[in-house]
């Protein structure tokens, strides 16, 4: 396996659970992280999820500042205060917390999007919009256009 790839959409059940795609579970198992590490994205209505590799990436960001300093505290609140460690049950499911619901707008379906070292959790329709937008941007970038400076969440 080469990290989290492809994307899948699964249904939420009455108890607020979703199956994590089997191929993602395989990656997580190999990574060895207990459960799942989730952090809401600061620039889109999605939640980043993953294991040790993602966590290491996050930790790296706060290491530049001395602990107990105001800067470190602010960063820690923004990063870890907005994180969660959902468990994965015996059937490979996780529960979508209120925090994830609020940040993503998820109601009854969840789209899992592989991004190599992490994956994202999206509300399916919002993901479709984001994806279309991302493709346009990619096209513009490839054709040498100056990238649109606005990346407002127009959702």
Partner DNA sequence: TGGGTTCTTATGGGATATCATGGGAAATCA
Partner DNA sequence: TGATTTCCCATGATATCCCATAAGAACCCA
**Among residues 78, 95, 109, 129, which is the contact residue for a second copy, using CB under 8 A?**
78
Structure tokens at 102: 């609020």
Q: Binding pattern to DNA, positions 27-56, x when CB under 7 A?
A: ------------------------------
Judged by CB under 7 A, which of 22, 64, 66, 68 binds DNA? 22
Plot region of 73 (φ>0 → left; ψ -120 to 50 → alpha; else → beta): alpha
What is the rounded CA–CA span in Å between residue 147 and residue 82? 29
Q: Does 60 sit near a second copy (CB under 8 A)?
A: yes
Q: What is Dmax (Cα atoms) for the chain?
A: 49
- Inter-residue contact 111 to 125 (CB < 8 Å): no
Joined together, the tokens standing for residue 119 give: 């994956």
Grouping H, G, I as helix, E, B as strand and the rest as coil, residue 116 is strand
Q: Does 21 bind a second copy (CB under 8 A)?
A: no
Q: How far is the CB of 137 from a second copy (least distance, A)?
A: 5
Query: Which residue in 11, 30, 102, 141 binds a second copy (CB under 8 A)?
Result: 141
Q: Which residue among 11, 30, 61, 128 contacts a second copy (CB under 8 A)?
A: 61
């Amino acid at each position: 396996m080469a990290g989290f790839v492809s994307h899948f959409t699964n249904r939420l059940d009455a108890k607020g659970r979703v199956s994590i795609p089997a191929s993602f579970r395989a990656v997580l198992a190999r990574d060895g992280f207990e459960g799942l590490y989730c952090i809401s994205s600061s620039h889109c209505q999605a939640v980043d999820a993953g294991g040790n590799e993602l966590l290491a990436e996050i930790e790296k960001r706060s290491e530049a500042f001395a602990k107990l300093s105001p800067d470190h505290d602010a960063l820690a609140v923004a990063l870890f205060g907005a994180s969660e460690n959902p468990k994965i049950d015996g059937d490979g499911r996780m529960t979508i917390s209120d925090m994830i619901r609020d940040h993503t707008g998820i109601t009854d379906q969840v789209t899992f999007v592989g991004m190599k070292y992490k994956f994202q959790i999206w509300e399916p329709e919002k993901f479709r919009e984001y994806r279309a937008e991302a493709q346009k941007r990619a096209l513009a970038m490839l054709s040498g256009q100056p990238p649109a400076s606005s990346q407002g969440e127009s959702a």
